[in-house]
Amino acid sequence: MTDKQYDTPNQAEPGQPPGAQEAPKSPHNPKVWIGFSALLAVLLIVMIATNEGSGTASEGEAAATVNGVAISQEEFLHEVVNQGGAGLLDQMIANELVRQEAESAGVEVTDADVDAELQRIKDSYPSEEQFDMVLAQNNLTIEQLREQLRPNVLITKVLEPEFDITDEQMQQYFDENQGAFGTEEQVRASHILVASQEEAETVMQELEGGADFAELAQQYSTDGSASNGGDLNFFGRGQMVPEFEEAAFALEVGEVSDIVQSQFGFHIIKVTDRTEADTPAYEDVKDDIYATLLSQQVGQRAGTWVQELRDGADIDNKLAPAADEAAEGEAAEGGAAEGATEEAH
């Protein structure tokens, strides 16, 4: 039914129309934040690297023993570095530089700031259920997301005074991106999909005789929606193949189509609900536009700004030698493998 892919649990099987998924209503892109992977055990890494904190083994002691066989701290730390610990510590260093710069500027992030950003992300989804689903797909809890948002919100607050976002810029963005605001025209439809014209005509005769559409869908339809009585939920234009879309949007609520042929077979379509397009006024989305433009400008500036902080800071990275050693080891292994390949030839 569709040539688009949907990141949802009810994605269609090949050759079947998926339940339509409404696009995020806000221009603010939630996946900038949601897409982070889960972090390693940060405190443990730093404590072992610096020998700080109660209960941390002193140098030379084992990190663990297995049936009396010791796994040394050096072995553990080397493996942590190989698994991305050095990069994680580097990110923590950047976060600390940002924190110190924010403290110098008198800027702090409150729980209310994080809550506001979290709410903007939630509002960009058509439902809280879909937001929760994306969290689950990324193995994130709401609290983990909150903590990942905090340093980004802090960077935004520190850098915000550098940018002058004017009403003219926001109005231009609104004019050029009106499709990203509000909701588009949608219909909710059910259908019965069969393989042949003859089967479709049989179903039409039963419908004309007073049979229930949902019951016939369960009985005849070859589509995955059959178990739901053929219900495809709401969908907008561009989400279904042209033949199906044209027929569905031409129907009134409660009306049943003639037989519609598409590349997937023969459909009988019933529209069960409809929502008209709703585009909000500029003033209603002005704050969202400001947040979007600010996010874009901060994103362009942040990398250079953090590097400037690094260049002016006194940083003693205890994992740097281990990271260098790991990189040298990988290079040596790569060279050995390349030599073996050449020898084989």
Is 10 within the bounds of a domain? no
pLDDT single digits (tens) 157-191 = 999 999 999 999 999 999 998 877 777 889 999 99
> At which residue do the structure tokens 């698994």 appear?
83
Question: Whole-number mean pLDDT of the chain?
Answer: 79
Is 235 within the bounds of a domain? yes
CB distance 50 to 318 below 8 Å:
yes
Give the residue-averaged pLDDT of 53-67. 66
Q: What is the CATH number of the domain that holds 68?
A: 1.10.4030
Is 46 within the bounds of a domain? yes
Residues 113 and 42 in one domain: yes
CB distance 51 to 16 below 8 Å:
no
Is 289 within the bounds of a domain? yes
Position 85: which residue type?
A: G
Residues 51 and 138 in one domain: yes
Residues 216 and 246 in one domain: yes
Residues 123 and 145 in one domain: yes
Is 158 within the bounds of a domain? yes
Which residues, listed in sequence order, are joined to residue 172 by a DSSP beta bridge? none
Q: What is the CATH number of the domain that holds 267?
A: 3.10.50.40
Higher pLDDT, 13 or 282: 282
Burial 26-50 (b: 16+ CB within 10 A, else e): bbbebeebbeeeeeeeeeebbbbbe
pLDDT of residue 330: 53
Q: Is 59 exposed, middle or buried (0-12, 13-18, 19+ CB in 10 A)?
A: exposed
pLDDT single digits (tens) 297-331 = 999 999 999 999 999 999 998 767 555 554 555 55
End-to-end, the C-alpha distance of the chain in Å comes to 51
Residues 81 and 169 in one domain: yes
Number of domains in the chain: 2
Residues 165 and 201 in one domain: no
pLDDT of residue 4: 33
Domain around 222: 186-275
Residues 200 and 141 in one domain: no
Give the residue-averaged pLDDT of 37-58. 40
pTM: 0.55
Residues 142 and 71 in one domain: yes
C-alpha separations of 342 from 2, 338, 345 in Å: 49, 6, 5
Task: State how far the Cα of 339 lies from the Cα of 143, in Å rounded to an integer.
Answer: 49
Residues 167 and 48 in one domain: yes
Q: Does residue 210 have a pLDDT over 70?
A: yes
Residues 196 and 326 in one domain: no
Is 345 within the bounds of a domain? no
pLDDT single digits (tens) 117-165 = 999 888 877 678 888 988 998 888 999 999 889 988 999 999 999 999 9
Is 15 within the bounds of a domain? no
Could you say which of 228, 246, 275 is where a domain stops?
275
pLDDT of residue 40: 35
